[in-house]
Chains A and B, each alone.
Chain A
């Protein structure tokens, strides 16, 4: 105790625990590389109309199926559209779908997980429901939901959000069960803090990190799953240039124009990989056991 008392207060008051985590996180090369790829992809998506040399929808039959060259970096497709412009615009759709899936599934998963972890009576019913939902392979459940709801961008987002909500709920519940028993929650209760405030301020603040890790992975899974659904023809309408629809329409010309399949695929791999790099680094940082193993 004496040591603690004599240690001078050297910590800057502005450096909060989350700031320290972020600082440590970005010290990792892997995370830094992942974040850099993500930033580039996001910037390309945001500024797509200014970055792309051509209109992604503009057809020019005389230029059809041209291999990559100076005028068309990634070549052209069967309708003479510029593949580079389509891949960049594809980032808009694919990343937007991924981000919205994350937003909805995290909101739903947090609500379900907090309820299950905090209110003992709700735990059984909610978790059985979550178990049942998780018995379906992701892509199969998403296919079935889109089949029923109808193929559109909104329904793909909704279906994937429904698929990933139970995953978030499971993580949130597990973390809530731990935090619920901590002394500061008891103290908050003793001080008369309302249940809602305890749940959404005190508990949520303390379980934010595992939720963020899960969110990063779900983002990657959603990008992959959306591409899969669109490839199967049960995703977004084929006229929208997402990476999945581009591969789907390019596959019949793959024997003579492999670039139609390669470039959108590389874009999917890059985005999923960068998200997993960030998520992995984050998870390792939070898990001392894994950190030891790294």
Chain B
């Protein structure tokens, strides 16, 4: 177990080092001088030279990379050019809406995906199964930003049930701020429930064919007990993996959805950083999100140990 953990952490460290290397070199792919690109057309030669020196861009690439890595180890993601503050601070300030949006969305996605997946598997081949399978396929084909725009027009602009956009003033109570997240969470949750639904269905079908289910039925247990106690508990183990995958999809979806609903989250920060070519912010966001993804996947692997006593590392 300790050995497994050690090897997993070592593997994670290698992947994170590679991620950091990729992030550093991606921003260096820019044609021309990054300082000139960051400052735009209006910049004078003196401004560009100043930025080059302050960001160490005048030094050789390996030196820049070593310095950047050194700063990273100390938790310093650099300074935003446009926002005039550390990237870490900018990310933390924007974390709240993104955190709650991701949390609510994954909750909604699970709430839709798991029960519908079970129903589809239990009534396999019937109309209800075809309906849910069709829904899952449709969910995977709908762009979240488009779905968001349509729902916004109907429920926020038309019916006035939800605020149209934004996250409320900074002083308003949390409950009011969270009210702004209801519609975006429904959008992301519904779109991302597709994957969970498909996985739950496939996993349930797999388990329902097992011998222990036949035994449970032979013992005369009620169908509800067979499905909910005996099948579902085993079927949910692979579904945990899909929650990790959904997290990655949700972050991608959140970037676009935040823009649609004008939420001041990390996604919105990234998009504005891209439009302003604020490279330190782009680098920082890429690194933090990829790091979170790697950590969540590790946590899921470890969760298997708790959920499934058969899994031993």
Contact = CB atoms under 8 A, between A and B. Distances in A.
Contacts of B286: 136, 140-141, 144
A273 interface: yes
Nearest to A262: B150
B15 A228 contact: no
Interface in B22-62: 22, 26-27, 29-31
A138 B252 contact: yes
B251 interface: yes
Contacts of B19: 132, 135-136
Interface of A: 128-129, 131-133, 135-141, 143-150, 220, 224, 227-228, 231-234, 247, 251, 254-255, 258, 261-262, 265, 268-269, 272-273, 276-277, 280, 289-290, 292-293
A261 B154 CA distance: 13
Place the interface of chain B in its size category: 35 or more
A289 to B, nearest CB: 8
A276 B14 contact: no
Shortest Cβ-Cβ A-B pairs, 9 listed: A132-B18, A272-B141, A137-B252, A265-B146, A139-B252, A273-B141, A147-B274, A135-B290, A293-B205
B251 A140 contact: yes
A207 B285 CA distance: 37
B150 to A, nearest CB: 7
A101 to B, nearest CB: 16
B255 A247 contact: no
15 contacts: A131-B18, A132-B19, A132-B290, A138-B248, A140-B285, A143-B274, A147-B282, A149-B29, A149-B30, A228-B143, A231-B256, A265-B146, A276-B141, A289-B206, A290-B202
B141 A220 contact: yes
Nearest to A227: B143
Contacts of B141: 220, 224, 268-269, 272-273, 276
Given A128-B15, A144-B282, A146-B274, 5 more contacts: A135-B294, A136-B286, A227-B146, A273-B141, A293-B124
B255 A139 contact: yes
A161 to B, nearest CB: 14
B149 interface: yes
A137 B256 CA distance: 12
A247 B149 contact: yes
Contact of A232 (B140, B259, B290): B259
Interface in B234-287: 248-249, 251-253, 255-256, 259-260, 270-271, 273-275, 277, 279, 282, 285-286
